[in-house]
Amino acid sequence: MPERVFISSVQKELAAERRAVRDFIRADPLLRRFFDIFLFEDLPAMDQRADHVYLEQVAHADVYLALLGPSYGFQDAEGVSPTEREFDAATDLGKPRIVLVKGTDDDGRDAKMAALVRRAGDQLIRRRFGSIAELTTEVYASLVARLDRTGKLLTRPFDAAACPDATLADLAAAKVELFLALARSQRGYALREGTPMPAALAHLNLLDHDAPTNAAVLLFGAAPQRFVISSEVKCMHFHGVDVQKPIPSYQVFKGTVFELVDQAIDFVLSKLNAMVGTRADSNQAPMTYELPREAVAEAIVNAVMHRDYTSNASVQVMLFADRLEIWNPGELPAGMTMAQLTRPHASIPRNPLLAEPMFLSRYAEKAGSGILDMIALCKKAGLPPPTFRQDGGQFMQVLWRPTRGTASVTEQVTAEATAEATAEAASEVLKMLQVMRGSLTRQEIMQRLDLRHDEHFRSNYLRPALEGGLIELTLPDKPTSPLQRYRVTVKGRRRVKRHHEGGGAD
């Protein structure tokens, strides 16, 4: 029998939050098995006083969930709000209480509500939230913890379970620090750089009895694949429209989920055709890819963030002559159909504790709009809409590349495959030469190319260009100097000029 969760607060300012919690619990495949929701707005009209109904439902509830906002709300003849009446009733009846407070501090909070927040803090551990995404993550963590305490959850969800044999020493403090800086700049996250790692992990619900969870290892592990072997991403580039061996370009990327996303995006962008624009609007020439970068990134983030990490399969990113295919192990949430994906829908992450830090660092959004954004971006670029399908235990996303001329893609590929294979590295170097003006640092070149992963840039762009004499060091006698910069040589400028005139490579 599901436990009944009473969601407190009839404040108008929190109506959207209450509905979001209700919809989240009812949609989550785990929580809906164990919890049912009472929301006052769902009751039909009846011949009873509202305050009597509130208190009666608190008495019938198994769990009391209080959402406390800035205002105190309606007050009865004694100057007490329904929210405070409910909190007192739950306390007197000994109900398990979960208290979530909106806002990072109490500045601007009504005096009576601030007093209630302090009183709740004196009795139990309360948590704060800023957005609906943070709220649902806190609700998820609190209810999963209750299932664990009551023995109803014999095996915790993968992302919330302690990672076997992992300790805090297996996490990289520098990666946590980098995340805190990024989350604060991107989302105004409450914690600052310098927060001790255990405190930062606890705030993100990434500890299980002081041990790092699987989500913590995937997010901040020094070597995540040591513990979750299949979390790597396999990237392949085929010159034709079918999977054929030998694979012209095949790389297996390892690292945290952030690093996996960056490396996979860099891999795809390095193989796509690109056009360098003019400097009409800024000093930096824009790079436009044949597939919108944002759509490629969204598809890769979806695969890494929502995959089934209990599967032995890995995420696969495959670029063909006519399309980009991204496969990830897992299936759509229960009740979700392929048709619903292309309409506005709720965000139901498979791994909520993994999704939250990716949202905070702006790698992902939580409004359920990612698929719709992909469709809109491709439409704006004049491309066919992406397609999605389920094949056994694999979910597949397909982004279609522009068609070339009137001949079929297969016919063109047959004629061009050999030339493409030998020109692939030269194409990547050419992109770099086209965006370089003056003397630039490595980081400045990567920024202009919209690349993030350092090793991929060194291997596929910087090293070939240096070895080919197309760029040179400004401080050749001090290759590791922090003042080191790179500039295009005369040979490199000739290479770019021949390209614009329709000529070939050196």
DSSP codes joined into one string, 121-163: HHHS--EEESSHHHHHHHHHHHHHHHHHHTT--SS--GGGSBP
Choose the CATH number for 230-400 among 3.30.70.520, 3.40.50.150, 3.30.565.60, 1.20.120.530: 3.30.565.60
Asked: is 3-154 a CATH 3.40.50.450 domain? The reply is yes
State yes or no: pLDDT of 254 exceeds 90: yes
Residue 422, class by beta-carbon neighbours within 10 Å (0-12 exposed, 13-18 middle, 19+ buried)?
A: exposed
Q: Give the pLDDT confidence score for residue 68 in this predicted structure.
A: 92
pLDDT category of residue 298 using cuts at 50, 70 and 90: very high
State yes or no: pLDDT of 139 exceeds 70: yes
Q: What percent of the chain has pLDDT over 90?
A: 50
Helix 82-92 to helix 50-60 angle (10° resolution) is 30
Q: Across-strand partners of 326? A: 317, 397
Delimit the domains of the chain by residue range.
3-154, 159-222, 230-400, 418-500
- The mean pLDDT value for 458-472 works out to 87
Q: Is the separation of the CB atoms in 396 and 326 below 8 Å? A: yes
Q: What are the C-alpha distances in Å from 69 to residues 54, 110, 130?
A: 18, 9, 10
Q: Give the pLDDT confidence score for residue 429 in this predicted structure.
A: 87
Write out the two tokens for 121: 């803090």
239-243, 350-354, 404-408: range with lowest mean pLDDT:
404-408
Q: Which residue has the higher pLDDT, 432 or 506?
A: 432
Q: Give the pLDDT confidence score for residue 483 in this predicted structure.
A: 87
What is the third-level CATH fold of 418-500? Arc Repressor Mutant, subunit A (1.10.10)
- Eight-class DSSP state of 388: E
State yes or no: pLDDT of 48 exceeds 70: no
Write out the two tokens for 378: 């491709």
Q: Give the pLDDT confidence score for residue 279 in this predicted structure.
A: 52
- The mean pLDDT value for 85-91 works out to 92
Q: Is the separation of the CB atoms in 233 and 252 below 8 Å? A: yes
Average per-residue pLDDT for the chain: 86
Q: Give the pLDDT confidence score for residue 120 in this predicted structure.
A: 92
Beta-strand pair 315-319/233-237: parallel
Distance CA 157, CA 215 (A): 10
State yes or no: pLDDT of 172 exceeds 90: yes
